[in-house]
Amino acid sequence: AEKCVGGLPSLKTLMDDRRAKSTQSIWLNAGNTLGGDLFRTLKFDAAVQGMQLLNFSAIYGGDAGRRYLDGLSQSIVVSNIDPPPQHKSVIFSVGNCNVSVTGYLENTEMDQDIQGVSIKNDTESVLEEVARIRKGQNVSNLITVVIGGSSVNKSKALVSNETIDFVFFSDANWSEEAAQRTVNQNAPQFFWEAVNKTSSKKTGYVGSLRANRSDVAGRFIVGQMDLPIANNCTVANANFTVLYYNTTTTPNDTALDFIKSELERLQSQNKSLTLNTKNLTAERGLCNHSECSLGNLITDAMVAALNGNSSWSGNATRIGIFPAAHLQPNVTIPEGNVTVTNLYGLTDEDAYIYSVLLTGRQLKDLLEFSINSSSLLQIEYRKDRDNTSEVVSVKTVSAVSSSMQLSEINVNDSAAFYNVSIPFTLLKMGSYKKLLSAVNASFHSVTIVEAVTKYINNTGSMSLPVLGSRFIRLELNPAPSPPPIPCANHTGTTVAVTLVVAALVVGLIFGVWRYVFGRYRPPSDSVLRLIDLD
């Protein structure tokens, strides 16, 4: 295409151009979009559409597993899921050489089956598939590539095997490398390292784009890596090109305008999904998708409003609680946009925000009957509903942490305190009142509506991601339609492996997994930035 608009269409145009000229262009993290585990893959529908259409709309419920498997059988190579997809690997020719690509998914956070889709041991599955490939190939002309995962150490362990030449993973994290080397702001924006084989003098390689989790500017990176293949079927090095990297801490207004325009386009394509006439009553103790998304935004806004407040102590965490039951009963989220004005009808406009200091044990008790979770918070619930202690673990990112990594809260501890933001009316609601009655609450002179309004203004773009079988859009000022930008002439004669690291939320927030498909929150505070291909 000679012209294209910014953002996701630019990236799609890049791949369309490459595929039109060569079949040797692949996505590094196909089926592995946001970090490598099955839950995130299912949530973002990456295997079905994300890497093909770049339509970041999620699917949920019983349909998720079926569509996921359908997508795998069509185009995505994953070696370690059960039932197995049609293709666990792909092989293509480059001159007199053959290149095999085998994919895998990590499941480091969740170990339960999801709609009949389960994860098998990744190392065993990859090696089994590679062995199968080698039986039918002239191994002297074979280059073996493995894609998947999000860990440097996992990738190094795989490539140390005698039969694997390259492992490309989705997220090289500066903090993970810190123990091995000194990494500074001037370090390359990619990771490339040679690894000695365990049983020979041969060398394998691991590579990825490098994301700096402690820097909000490094949350969305798109790059290209070329593997020049010699006539003797060897690859000595790789050539990296970072197509986009936001190196400033201040979001670019033009980029944000592009993003808003693109999200509007995606939403217009899925207009039927915006219809929601369900009363906000949190029936069965669950919030429907629109309620969860709205509550998700509110908790993030509450936490952002109090961030840096002098009343916060040194051990404060980024935790906020806003149950869907707190939304006004018998109110519907209308079809189409939800504006700030609508918030006055959906919430108590005079609901001021408080903060309370809770121990790990108190926080666990609070979350036992909480419906929505909070910003930068990961909660794991037991699946066994007969178990009276449903919360297994709680992890959050400390407000004083520079690494932006999730750390676990001791839910049995009654000594350390964690700062939690809540709406005032939560102090008067049923079980919450009983739990919080003896807790000293700090008043903050900001209401929920004020916090959300300020939050949207500060982010400069829509805070609600295009996620969920139903989603809502909050918009203060429509973004002007950006002019088309010229797309670069994307030509190449070498094997191109496109790397995409979309760390939309540092730490990648997980939702509440109390029931099989309900009770979780989509990721929040998500800001897609412009992909500049020029």
Residue 275 in tokens: 């219809």
**Interval 155-163 mean pLDDT:** 91
Residue 380's pLDDT is 55
Given a cut of 60, is residue 445 above it in pLDDT? yes
389: left (phi over 0), alpha (psi -120 to 50) or beta: beta
Cα–Cα dist 489/290, whole Å: 41
- Which residues constitute the domain of residue 22? 3-249+489-502
H-type helices in 162-288, by residue range?
A: 174-177, 253-269
193 with 337, same domain: the answer is no
430 falls within a domain: yes
Residue 100 in tokens: 């095999």
**Interval 238-257 mean pLDDT:** 51
Answer yes or no: are the C-beta atoms of 37 and 110 closer than 8 Å: yes
Any residues with CB less than 8 A from the CB of 212 and at least 6 apart, and which?
Answer: 173, 174, 185, 218
196 φ, ψ to 5°?
-75, 140
Output the domain CATH number for residue 243: 3.60.21
234 with 300, same domain: the answer is no
Nearest CA among 224, 230, 184 for reference residue 207: 224
- The angle formed by the CA atoms of residues 243, 246 and 252, to the nearest 5 degrees, is 120
532 falls within a domain: no
298 falls within a domain: yes
Nearest CA among 255, 292, 221, 164 for reference residue 502: 221
Answer yes or no: are the C-beta atoms of 31 and 19 closer than 8 Å: no
508 falls within a domain: no
Q: Tell me the percentage of the chain whose pLDDT exceeds 90.
A: 4
Cα–Cα dist 85/94, whole Å: 25
477 falls within a domain: no
339 with 419, same domain: the answer is yes
205 with 283, same domain: the answer is no
369 falls within a domain: yes
190 with 233, same domain: the answer is yes
Given a cut of 70, is residue 258 above it in pLDDT? no
The residue written with tokens 């090109």 in the block is 241
Confidence tier at 439 by pLDDT (50, 70, 90) = confident
Cα–Cα dist 174/183, whole Å: 7
Q: What is the pLDDT of residues 111-142, one digit of tens each?
A: 433 445 567 888 999 999 999 999 988 888 99
Domains in the chain, number? 2
227 with 366, same domain: the answer is no
80 with 186, same domain: the answer is yes
**What is the residue-averaged pLDDT of the chain?**
57
Answer yes or no: are the C-beta atoms of 432 and 426 closer than 8 Å: yes
**Interval 178-184 mean pLDDT:** 43
239 φ, ψ to 5°?
-105, 125
Residue 491's pLDDT is 30
Output the domain CATH number for residue 400: 3.90.780.10
For the ranges 32-41, 352-361, 502-511, the maximum mean pLDDT occurs at: 352-361
Residue 373's pLDDT is 41
Q: What is the pLDDT of residues 61-101, one digit of tens each?
A: 334 434 444 444 444 567 887 777 667 887 878 778 888 88
228 falls within a domain: yes
Confidence tier at 449 by pLDDT (50, 70, 90) = confident
Residue 124's pLDDT is 92
Residue 235's pLDDT is 78
Any residues with CB less than 8 A from the CB of 215 and at least 6 apart, and which?
Answer: 185, 249
352 with 406, same domain: the answer is yes
107 with 217, same domain: the answer is yes
**Kind and range of the H or E run holding 157:** helix 152-159
Any residues with CB less than 8 A from the CB of 270 and at least 6 apart, and which?
Answer: 55, 57, 466
Residue 315's pLDDT is 52
Given a cut of 60, is residue 526 above it in pLDDT? no
222 with 328, same domain: the answer is no
Cα–Cα dist 59/289, whole Å: 11
303 with 396, same domain: the answer is yes
Boundary (domain end) residue, out of 459, 478, 512: 459
**Burial class of residue 453 (count of CB atoms within 10 Å of its CB; 0-12, 13-18, 19+):** middle
525 falls within a domain: no
Given a cut of 60, is residue 512 above it in pLDDT? no
350 with 294, same domain: the answer is yes
